[in-house]
Structure 1
Amino acid sequence: MYDDESLALDPVAVAPGRPASLVPGTPGPDRTADRPAPPAPWVRRLVIAALILAAVNLRPAITSLGALLKEVRDGLGMSGTMAGLLTSVPAACFALFGFAAPRLARRFGPGAVVCAGMVAIASGLVLRPLSGSTPVFLVTSALALGGIAVSNVLMPVIVKRYFPDRVGTVTGIYSMALSLGTAVAAAVTVPLTDAMGGNWRLGLGMWAVLAVVAIVPWLPLVRDRSGQRPAARAGTAPEPAAGEHGRITRSRTARMLAWYFGLQGTAAYVTMGWMPQIFRDAGLSAGKAGLLLGVTMVIAVPLSFVLPPLAARMGSQGAIVVVLAVFQVAGFAGLWTAPAAAPWLWAVLLGVANCAFPLVLTMIGMRSRSGAGVVRLSAFAQSTGYLISIPGPILVGTLNQVSGGWGLPMALMILLVVPQVLCGMLAGRNRQIEDEL
């Protein structure tokens, strides 16, 4: 992996629009004093623990709701379209709050922002079960999802900052933790809810305990500035962002990453939000449907650890994009034609397909030379991608309500695989956004 500082853009340009460090033969200033202070070993160990605990909390707010969606719909009187809107709220919040993450990180530091994100997750998960109406439920869900959103965007930034030479490995670690949290929440929410008397409010609210635990390791990192330039710590000139020499929207790689992120996110949120309902409509019990969603999520646990380092060693990630897409088509085709015939197989296939998420996170870390570039690219690709993914779950719910079945919604999901593959292959080319700006 490229060193975070040796390839960072120099602020003095010797040609219009071109920084000095990119002009061959142009001597640059002495960078010795500007090198980031290396994090102490205990800080890196603390960051790993903080990343793991934060990642575990980035999906239970969503998958626990998917497992209890029928009970929540009945309890709050939601229509199919409103339930589809509810499954799209995560994407909307991720986009809205994700755009604000870089500015917040520049002002307060990424550690402080992620710590605040954990507090927001815990608060939202405590308040959401107390809601007595759909609007209040949506607002309290948005509080938790806002915390998830800023943490989503800043995870690659934290990795690049503290582990610039281990981006693939550390991304794999927290991606595995994210998948584990997703799987556990999907699998145990219904059994634990049944054990607590079948109260869906308790079943959703219990995940706040895990979020409170995640706050603790981030507290010492709130004011930590390891891995940041001394000048930036002193409040002087910060590290130039990748887009200072051109808007990031001019980068084709950045645009393709955003579209790939959005299309794979559409598939993931349809899977997490609607797959249990598809199985229940096919005659499976609520507990088994939740367990199947758990299987889908747990499949990604080992793969999320293996895939990012593998992708980081490859010049182009297009081949992985295609392989994951094949699994996705097969899984959605199974849900379309015979959901009850081989539910375990469909769950496994879609679990493998969901590994597109750690793959795109890895590509974000690889497509920029500098830490500032990763901040810009992560915010743009994730926030824009989540905006792209908003209509999908809503449309799936509406098509199901209009058609009375799941054939038309699943046909739509299979059709969307085509642009997803094209964008993923273009985003996976071995290049950096600085070269395109």
Structure 2
Amino acid sequence: MTPATRQRAHSVGVLMLAVAVAAVNLRPGATAIGPVLEELRAGLDMGAGAAGLLTALPPLCFGLGGAAAVTLARRIGLSGSIAAGLVAATAALLLRVLTDVEPVFLALTVVALLAMALGNVLVPAWIKHDGAGADVILMTVFSTGLVVGGALGPLVTAPVAEHLGGWRVALGGWSALMAVALPLWIWLAAHERGRGADEAAPLQAPEGRMASSPTAVAMTALFGMQSMHAYIQFGWLPQIYRDHGLSAAHAGALQAVLAGVGVLGALLMPTVAARTTNLTPYILSFGALLVGGYLGLLVAPTTVPWLWALLLGVSGFAFPLTIALITARTRASAVTAQLSGFVQPIGYLFAALGPLAVGLIHAATGGWTLVLVLLMLSAVPFTLAGLRVARPVYVDDELA
């Protein structure tokens, strides 16, 4: 049966709750390190090289872990794989704050991030398989949960560390939040195993290689480019503002503007992806806003600094749009899983290069001019990839 005609395995309320508790937990373990990095380094006697590796791990692990997600799902099912990832991540996030050994902390961080990568890739496929007509609202919950969870990490960690017991308590607390999701997802996995093979979504590989689909390739490029800009903005935008004379508090507030706008995009774009036949105006607007934000930082960074953060934030609507298109541009859940397992791993691995390249260029030039010019130029491939994805084409048809 198709997703449209198959009866839902669970009520919409259960589906929404499951997606929400999973999505909100797929980012804090990765984004919470930054605000307490100095205290963490002191506590573990961590060198600068290891600290640099720690900050680069999220996109690298999301890429590598996501690449293995579909293979695992074929063996133990969608719900089982997501549940296994949540269990492993919960344990790793807790155990890493109990060690005083730097390599052990890094290894457990890798385990947690690889486990979270399973949810990144498989939840959209689970929505396609079990949503049965509720795809749009479930993808809205998913993309919003990702953005909210990503913002909660840096927002909450520092105050908790300052007032409630230091960096170990602050980072370990995210394992407690993730543990809240375990009972529901373990129950869903058990329920899945009791269903027939077709209903449990064995995810047989579709005919044709995903790289043969122009839409899949363009979607990967768009996801990688947007993720690269997101990691650069979250990693370097406050420093750009501070280097032009703004205070740390002001720069942090501007970062919050960017993050807050992202929540709005996560709420809006899944509906846009599902109900709009021509996405070209949106893509062109995102490309123009990306250039406008970086141009403003280049020529007048402190004149209306909130405007540049706002422009970049709205251009970032491309991220929830691309996530939503993974389900909107596929029919079968197996193709959804395969597409998600193609787009996200490659995109995250590409995105990991962005912050590193920005750091190297800034160190070599001593300023931000060349960095901002190159970021503006990157809007060209960003827009071209988006225009290809904007076409109302199903990846299933291209593979066939």
TM bracket (short chain): 0.7 to 0.9
Q: CA deviation at 1:289?
A: 3.9
Cα distance per residue 1:352-401 (max 9 Å; x no partner):
22221210011111222211111111111111212222211111122222
- Please show how residues 117-266 of structure 1 align to structure 2 within 5 Å: 117-129=85-97, 135-196=103-164, 199-225=166-192, 230-232=196-198, 240-242=204-206, 244=207, 246-266=208-228
Q: Unmatched 5+ residue regions in structure 1?
A: 7-34
Q: Is the 8 A contact 1:78 1:134 kept in 2?
A: no
Q: CA deviation at 1:85?
A: 4.6
Residue number in structure 2 paired with 1:352:
314
Equivalent residue letter for 1:250: S
Residue number in structure 2 paired with 1:376:
338
CA spacing shift, 1:141–1:416, aligned 2, 3 Å: farther
Cα distance per residue 1:328-368 (max 9 Å; x no partner):
22333344445444443333222222221210011111222
Structure 1, 280-289 or 379-388: larger mean CA deviation:
280-289
Equivalent residue letter for 1:157: A
The whole-number CA distance in structure 2 between the counterparts of 1:69 and 1:405 is 24
Residue 419 (1) aligns with residue 387 (2): no
The whole-number CA distance in structure 2 between the counterparts of 1:49 and 1:5 is 20
Residue number in structure 2 paired with 1:78:
48
Equivalent residue letter for 1:63: T
- Please show how residues 311-350 of structure 1 align to structure 2 within 5 Å: 311-350=273-312
- Please show how residues 22-37 of structure 1 align to structure 2 within 5 Å: 36=6
Percent sequence identity is: 39
The whole-number CA distance in structure 1 between the counterparts of 2:131 and 2:302 is 45
Q: CA deviation at 1:271?
A: 1.7
Equivalent residue letter for 1:4: T
Q: CA deviation at 1:290?
A: 3.9
Q: Is the 8 A contact 2:36 2:161 kept in 1?
A: no
Equivalent residue letter for 1:422: L
Q: Is the 8 A contact 1:85 1:393 kept in 2?
A: no
SS in 2 for 1:267: helix
SS in 2 for 1:38: coil
CA spacing shift, 1:349–1:127, aligned 2, 3 Å: farther
Q: CA deviation at 1:425?
A: 1.1
Match of 1:309 among 263, 266, 271: 271
Residue 363 (1) aligns with residue 325 (2): yes
The whole-number CA distance in structure 2 between the counterparts of 1:350 and 1:367 is 26
Residue number in structure 2 paired with 1:406:
368
Q: CA deviation at 1:316?
A: 3.2
Q: CA deviation at 1:36?
A: 4.8
SS in 2 for 1:362: helix
Q: Is the 8 A contact 2:232 2:355 kept in 1?
A: yes
Question: With structure 1 as the length reference, what TM-score do the two structures score?
Answer: 0.81
Residue number in structure 1 paired with 2:18:
50
The whole-number CA distance in structure 1 between the counterparts of 2:246 and 2:306 is 12
Q: Is the 8 A contact 1:84 1:398 kept in 2?
A: no
The whole-number CA distance in structure 2 between the counterparts of 1:227 and 1:262 is 37
Equivalent residue letter for 2:383: V
Structure 1, 340-349 or 173-182: larger mean CA deviation:
340-349
Q: CA deviation at 1:308?
A: 1.0
Q: Is the 8 A contact 1:88 1:269 kept in 2?
A: no
Equivalent residue letter for 1:206: G
Equivalent residue letter for 2:178: A
Residue 298 (1) aligns with residue 260 (2): yes
The whole-number CA distance in structure 1 between the counterparts of 2:28 and 2:368 is 25
Equivalent residue letter for 2:130: Y
Q: Is the 8 A contact 1:156 1:378 kept in 2?
A: yes
Q: CA deviation at 1:68?
A: 4.0
The whole-number CA distance in structure 2 between the counterparts of 1:195 and 1:378 is 40
Aligned length: 397
Q: CA deviation at 1:267?
A: 0.7
Equivalent residue letter for 1:294: A
The whole-number CA distance in structure 1 between the counterparts of 2:20 and 2:81 is 16
Q: Unmatched 5+ residue regions in structure 2?
A: none
CA spacing shift, 1:166–1:435, aligned 2, 3 Å: same
CA spacing shift, 1:47–1:38, aligned 2, 3 Å: closer
Q: Which has the larger radius of gyration?
A: 1
Q: Is the 8 A contact 2:28 2:150 kept in 1?
A: yes
Q: Is the 8 A contact 1:156 1:171 kept in 2?
A: yes
Q: CA deviation at 1:255?
A: 0.9
Residue 4 (1) aligns with residue 2 (2): yes
Residue number in structure 1 paired with 2:233:
271
The whole-number CA distance in structure 1 between the counterparts of 2:273 and 2:60 is 28
Cα distance per residue 1:245-281 (max 9 Å; x no partner):
x212111111111111111111111122223343444
The whole-number CA distance in structure 2 between the counterparts of 1:123 and 1:175 is 25
Structure 1, 86-95 or 202-211: larger mean CA deviation:
202-211
The whole-number CA distance in structure 2 between the counterparts of 1:418 and 1:73 is 39
Q: Is the 8 A contact 1:316 1:428 kept in 2?
A: yes
CA spacing shift, 1:78–1:332, aligned 2, 3 Å: farther
